[in-house]
Amino acid sequence: MKPSTKTGQSGQVALIVVLVMLVVGTIALSVASRSVLDVSISKQEENKIRAFSAAEAGIEDLLSAGIASVGVGGQRTVGNITYNYQISEVGASGYVLDEPLANGETIQINVDPAQATGLTVYWDNASLELSAFKTDGSIERVALNPAGSSITNGFTTAASGVTFQDKTYISRYDFNSLTSYSYIRIRALYNSTALAVAPIDGTLPAQAYNVKVNTGEGESAAAVEIVQSIGYQPGIFDYTLWSGGGLTK
């Protein structure tokens, strides 16, 4: 008796159908898994963006409130955002400018004779005008050329610099006494220059604030950190005449 051809063909068709279903099922599972992964990645990216935006909003909130008035750290809420923050003073053991002081620009250094006996100024290849403002309203000024300079402009030539906080500067000038000084303004002349200051026998008052904000969104976290210098008047006011009363020739 011959085997049934119809039965053999039915078995082959069933096998092919099963194989096709396995392939289709594998593809469907792969697409579903990829879709779930894409959704998860998108959610993570969205949370990262939200966390970073919240951290930026925290920085803006602190700047609006006033860095010096919000305390050294804690938690604050602005709108529907809650963030943690830490604030620390910068400059007690020395202050290094993040960017070079441009030609013609002025920076102000706060000093306190009760905290340090003197102040050292470090810089590179530029001339400086140093204006020391006293508590009685008087001003002492000194004009300096960099160390080794051959410029003939009547300025004093500065001493050779030294290494301070892992950087070697070309020039140095020492205020050996800060008696009755309130602050010192430094203007760069002829050139831009890196600049740093350091106390002599003591510490300096805060020259800037380091502000760090931390936030979280889901499993994502973000942090934003800035350094804000203490505000001071623009350099143009160094050449303004002030009087509590009238002026007499």
Highest mean pLDDT among 39-43, 133-137, 203-207: 203-207
Encoding tokens for residue 138?
């008087």
Residues 202, 92: Cα–Cα separation, whole Å: 9
Residues 185, 143: Cα–Cα separation, whole Å: 12
The residues pairing with 196 across neighbouring beta strands, listed in sequence order, are 96, 122
Q: Chain-wide mean pLDDT for the chain? A: 86
- Containing 94, the helix (H) or strand (E) segment is none
- pLDDT beyond 90 at 24: no
Residues 118, 178: Cα–Cα separation, whole Å: 5
- 92-202 fold: Jelly Rolls (2.60.120)
Q: What is the mean pLDDT of residues 32-46?
A: 69
* pLDDT score recorded for residue 243: 54
Complete DSSP assignment for 95-119: EE-SSPBPTT-EEEEE--TTTEEEE
Closest by alpha carbon to 120, among 216, 34, 56, 195?
195
- pLDDT beyond 70 at 2: no
Closest by alpha carbon to 61, among 207, 191, 215, 221?
215
Domain boundaries, the chain: 14-85+211-226, 92-202
pLDDT class of 38 with cuts at 50, 70, 90: low
SS3 157: strand
